[in-house]
Structure 1
Amino acid sequence: MGTEPIIVIVSVVVVLLLVLLLASLRILKEYERGVAFRLGRLRQPLQPGVRIVMPGLDKLVRVDLRVVTLTIPPQEVITRDNVPARVNAVVLFRVTDPVLSVMAVENHAVATSQIAQTTLRSVVGRADLDTLLAHRADLNEDLTASIDSQTAPWGVKVAVVEIKDVEIPELMQRAMAREAEAERERRAKVISARGELQASVELRDAARTLSEAPASLQLRYLQTLLELGADQNSTVVFPIPMDIIGPFLESMRDRSQHTAQVPHPSQTKASSDER
């Protein structure tokens, strides 16, 4: 009878120890690290696997080492050329030092989000609208470097910062559309002028070549007549070479000059009467 209370006490103690042991077991996944405090004092980081954390004595903080996607809400910014815009972005970061992410900052995710928002407004405010729209990659690199330099003391590595969308006022969109249309018209006029210049140069060279061989000009006339006949036009053009009508024009010019030099009979009679 005297041994029964002892057996009961031992059984209770064993059960309590088993319960305490089971309550002390913690399983850390491969992508997790554990930052444990024993009576307020920092312990060594706990590696993945089964770990013992004494209830009431130890406090465990799980730290996820995977890449975290953080969406920055739209920010009202004013660019360097005084254009209002709404800009949002995406930040990809991960924890590289679990101890610093717990000891150096209260909540590294919230702190990274706030730093990303302020840095986004600052960087976009230093750029003009054309840079924001056409050179977004440079702004992304600048944002990544700026945010990463501020989160590095917290054991947080910012890998990528990408600007997702840029919203500008409707009036500014219309002005940009008119500007783009004017630019396209200017390019079209420049291209047309360059084409006319090249065509004139080619025509000049062709004229020089044809002037060296008059027979080729005759062949060109015949080819033109053939092309006009193929189109079934009602108008027929008969080109006359200048070397054929040239002598007639010169004879008519000489005759007109001779007529101008010979006095009219009436003028001769008037002069004799005066005498």
Structure 2
Amino acid sequence: MVPIRITVFEYERGLKYVKGRFKQLLGPGQYWLWAFGNTTICKVDMRSQYLSIPGQAVLTADGVGLKISLMAVYAISDPAIAINQVSDYRQGLYMTVQNSLRQIIGTVAMDDLIGNTQVDQQLLAAAASEAALLGVQLTAISIKDLMLPGELKKLYAQIVQARQEGLAQLERARGETAALRSLANGARLINRNPALLKLRILQAIEQSTGNTFHLDLSTDEQEDSSEET
């Protein structure tokens, strides 16, 4: 009989079975098996994987119906459990995350849910322990999409629009206040030093072309005179 070489890569683990019975977990490396022997090696990918959970109908604490879709990131932590004790660990993880979603959202009011960055962490904490029983380690859960009922969606859109309009009006009011404050400061300077006004007029003349100005630059000690530009 010719032996067969089995390579378990760095990102894999091997489950060794002899006559159908699990014997040991194999790390990365090369292993030789007889072609018609009683030993089998099943390789398991240990890299991070992604599980997409489409829109789930849930109720918030105040009775608002939503549809929420999730993305979960996980990796097999114990291949012997995930393969030998669970018929479909991926399906089991799907149901675990789904149940955790209903439990967490059911304790949060609608207004608190919008923009709440802590919900993802709460979902992860709620599902992690049950996922470990499947031989799986959950590393992240995130809400991909939150879909509101039609009428409620319109209402929140109006609230967001009103908030944006209010912020724009506030910014305009701040700009107008700053402009008035600048004018008031300028008026006080001119009142204390009238010569500043004449200097400002000269600056305006210098920046202007094609116009004629008549200026009275007389002082109390000089006779009135005029200048044309």
Q: Same fold by TM-score, threshold 0.5 exceeded?
A: yes
- Change over 3 Å in CA distance of 1:37–1:83 after alignment to 2: farther
The counterpart of 2:193, out of the listed 213, 216, 233, is 213
RMSD: 4.0
Quickly say closer, same or farther: Cα 1:221–1:128, change in 2 above 3 A.
same
CA distance in structure 2 between the partners assigned to 1:159 and 1:81 by the alignment: 30
| Unmatched tracts of structure 1, length 5 or more | 1-17, 233-237, 239-275
2:148 to 168, 173, 180: 168
Q: Which residue of 1 aligns with 2:100?
A: 119
Match of 2:33 in 1: 51
Match for residue 99 of structure 1? 80
CA distance in structure 2 between the partners assigned to 1:173 and 1:126 by the alignment: 21
Kindly state the Cα deviation for residue 75 of structure 1 after the two structures are TM-superposed. 0.4
The equivalent of 2:220 in structure 1 is none
Give the distance between the partners of 2:202 and 2:43, measured in 1 at CA.
93
Quick one: distance in 1 between partners of 2:99 and 2:5?
A: 38
Provide, for residues 24-79 of structure 1, a one-character-per-residue CA deviation record: whole Å limited to 9, x for no partner. Answer: x684643242152647x642235563335855xx7876544333332213201123
Determine helix, strand or coil for the equivalent of 2:133: helix
From the superposition, tell whether residues 121 and 28 of structure 1 become closer, same or farther in structure 2 (CA, over 3 Å). Answer: farther
CA distance in 2, matches of 1:196, 1:186: 15
Higher relative contact order (CA 8 A, sep 6+): 2
Length-normalised TM-score, structure 2: 0.69
**Which whole-Å deviations, capped at 9, do the CAs of 1:216-239 have from their partners, x for residues lacking one?**
445667878x69x9698xxxxx9x
1:145 corresponds to 2:125? yes
Distance 1:216 1:45 in 2: 89
- The whole-number CA distance in structure 2 between the counterparts of 1:37 and 1:131 is 55
| Larger Cα-atom Rg | 1
Q: Which runs of 5+ in 2 are unaligned?
A: 216-229
The equivalences for 1:57-96 within 5 A come to 63-96=44-77
Alpha-carbon distance in 2 for matches of 1:135, 1:231 = 62
Tell me the equivalent position of 1:261: none
For the structure 1 residues 37 and 128, does the alpha-carbon distance in structure 2 shift closer, same or farther, using more than 3 Å as the test?
farther
Q: 1:28 touches 1:51 (CA, 8 Å); kept in 2?
A: no
Q: Which residue of 2 aligns with 1:190?
A: 170
Q: Counting helix residues as a fraction of each chain, which structure ranks higher?
A: 1
Aligned-residue identity in percent: 27
Alpha-carbon distance in 2 for matches of 1:26, 1:118: 43
